[in-house]
Structure 1
Amino acid sequence: YFLGKDEVKYHAKKSLWTHLIPYLIFGIGIAGSGLLGMNDISHAGPFLIATYAVTFLVAIYFFIWNIVKGIKVFSE
């Protein structure tokens, strides 16, 4: 990202964000379940499971997305 040419920087920046988004979702979900757990622990459990599920689905989506975009870039 930092050493590449303009076209490489463009693709590297997009790839960096698609790798960071699942971690951001996970961090926000964990923080949210922690805040819910401070009031009542029974509310934190389902929210924590939902956080894991959404993070997993988003990570799989972006994993496949990056493979498809990588193939498109290499084929150009």
Structure 2
Amino acid sequence: MDNNKIISALCYVSLLFAPFLLPLIVYLVINNNEVKYHAKRAFISHLIPVVIGMLLGIFGIFGIFSVTSTEIMNGFVISLFIFMAIYFLITIILLIWNLIQAVRVLKA
């Protein structure tokens, strides 16, 4: 099996053990264009949950400190749980997508 395919697939699977760190290192170190392409795609797909999680955290912190009444707080907590459910759904979908991409790279 070709080393470039293994490295490309490893970039996708690294979501499980070194998210966005391994694809970034591979993108900066490897000179093969195909491996760089897969490393860039993996990096972006690993970065999406991080950015959404940070936005969710900022939204939660600002919301907790800015809400004054109990009725508004109840609505805020419900909306925060809905956003968290959407976040986890997006994360699961991206995990499955990355695993499918790794298998496709190895089969090609």
> Does structure 2 conserve the Cα–Cα contact (< 8 Å) formed by 1:22 and 1:55?
yes
Alignment of 1:47-66 (within 5 A): 47-66=79-98
Runs (5+) with no aligned partner, structure 2: 1-26
1:32 aligns with 2:32: no
AA aligned to 2:47 is L
Aligned sequence identity (%): 29
- Normalised TM-score (structure 1): 0.84
For residues 19-76 of structure 1, give each alpha carbon's deviation from its aligned partner in whole angstroms, at most 9, with x where no partner exists.
Answer: 1111111111121122222124334312321232111111110010011111111111
In structure 2, what is the equivalent of residue 6 of structure 1? 33
Which segments of structure 1 move beyond 4 Å, counting only runs of 4 or more? none
AA aligned to 1:61 is I
Name the SS of the counterpart of 2:28 in structure 1.
Answer: coil
Higher relative contact order (CA 8 A, sep 6+): 2
AA aligned to 2:67 is N
RMSD of aligned alpha carbons: 1.5
Larger Rg: 2
